[in-house]
Structure 1
Amino acid sequence: MEKRQIKVTVNGEPRLVDVEPRLLLVHLLREGLGLTGTHIGCDTTSCGACTVLFDGQPVKSCTMLAVQTDGHEVTTVEGLAKASELDPVQEGFKEEHALQCGFCTSGMMMSAKALLMEKPNPTEEDVRWALSGNLCRCTGYQNIVKAVLWAAKKMQSEAAV
């Protein structure tokens, strides 16, 4: 199959990559670019483990073609932290003990980040709705919700400074 060259910005870094037209974004990220924080859970958009941000919006990368990202920006969980500093969402997951096995964590964090970029002061109901497309089999969600609310408060306090 003939490959096509695309230009995509991944975690702030412009990339030129050759992809087959049928290659899924999740496979480009994991195998083509070595960004293994994006997990493959179901290949049907049911679990959300593969959630990344596409131009700031959460998408399930297991059903998006890599060629669709040509000229766009993709952010993975690896793109959240800055240098040696955790993103408030990552810090919230740590502080509120919001992970167990960690398989769903990257997708949860990316959905949470999208929510907080759109709605900096979410309610618990907002958080639960934003995460409704992500499945966790371990935690029962309560600490995940607390982590997102913790991150929102931290981001608000940083913005006030």
Structure 2
Amino acid sequence: MPSPDRTPKAAPIPPAGSALILLKINGVDHSLSIDPRTSLLDVLREHLSLTGPKKGCNQGACGACTVLVDGQRVLSCLSLAVQLEGREITTIEGIASGELHRLQVAFIEHDGFQCGYCTPGQICSAMGMFQEFQNGLPSAVTGDMAAARIEFSDAEIKERMSGNLCRCGAYVGICEAIHSAFDREVAK
């Protein structure tokens, strides 16, 4: 009886000009062979069928493609997928676990969307924005940067969310939804 082959198996060799990468997206590892010039947005949409992040402008100007990378908001159309190996990527599909996240519920309750095209990017951006706020990072409208606590005001929310455009103009509902979802945490 021949002995089993115990030599370690080499990783598959990607085709010439391709890169073999491992991305952790929404808690799941994905091994991909891609062109190293491929944006994270194209990997998400075209290789993994995660269509929540939208290709709005493909220039980083609209925010429709916003995702979270290690909890920070990132424009996936401007990020090369190969640069994000080993980092935790969260798309709108990974926000809820079992039931809608309270921010998603707030968007519904406060009419934070109309056509819905920008909504996944708006929600991911709002989650990253709130983390920035919680970490005490000032914005362009922060009055007293030496203050122990930044006020979670409409002006702060609007400034921090200004990179996410809504063609339908649902900004009032978006701001109300963000307040509704996070005001309790700010009060703590």
Give the TM-score, by structure 1 length.
0.90
**Aligned counterpart for 1:47 among listed residues 51, 62, 67:** 62
**Aligned counterpart for 1:145 among listed residues 151, 175, 179:** 175
Q: CA deviation at 1:88?
A: 1.3
SS in 2 for 1:14: strand
Structure 1 gaps, min length 5: none
- Bigger drift between 91-100 and 118-127 goes to 118-127
Q: Does 1:67 align with 2:90?
A: no
SS in 2 for 1:68: helix
State how far apart, in whole Å, the 2-side matches of 1:22 and 1:39 are: 19
Query: Any idea what the Cα deviations from partners look like across 1:105-159, whole Å, max 9, x if unmatched?
Result: 11110110112233357322221122110111113411100001111035x39x9
Residue type of the partner of 2:50?
A: L
SS in 1 for 2:130: helix
Residue type of the partner of 1:97?
A: D
SS in 1 for 2:57: coil
Residue type of the partner of 1:13?
A: V
Q: Does 1:114 align with 2:128?
A: yes
SS in 2 for 1:145: helix
Task: Please report the RMSD computed on the Cα atoms of aligned residues, expressed in angstroms.
Answer: 1.8
Q: CA deviation at 1:12?
A: 1.4
Cα contact 1:122–1:152 (8 A) shared by 2? no
**Aligned counterpart for 1:36 among listed residues 44, 51, 60:** 51
Cα contact 2:113–2:170 (8 A) shared by 1? no
SS in 2 for 1:6: strand
Cα contact 1:98–1:144 (8 A) shared by 2? yes
Query: Any idea what the Cα deviations from partners look like across 1:48-107, whole Å, max 9, x if unmatched?
Result: 100111111111111111111111111100011111x11111111011011001111111
Cα contact 2:26–2:90 (8 A) shared by 1? yes
Give the TM-score, by structure 2 length.
0.78
| Aligned length in residues | 157
State how far apart, in whole Å, the 1-side matches of 2:126 and 2:18 are: 34
Structure 1 residues 18, 122: closer, same or farther in 2, change over 3 A? farther
State how far apart, in whole Å, the 1-side matches of 2:160 and 2:169 are: 17
Residue type of the partner of 2:100?
A: L
Residue identity over aligned pairs, in percent, reads 41
Bigger Cα Rg: 2
**Aligned counterpart for 2:101 among listed residues 87, 91, 97:** 87
Give the equivalent residue in structure 1 for 2:10: none
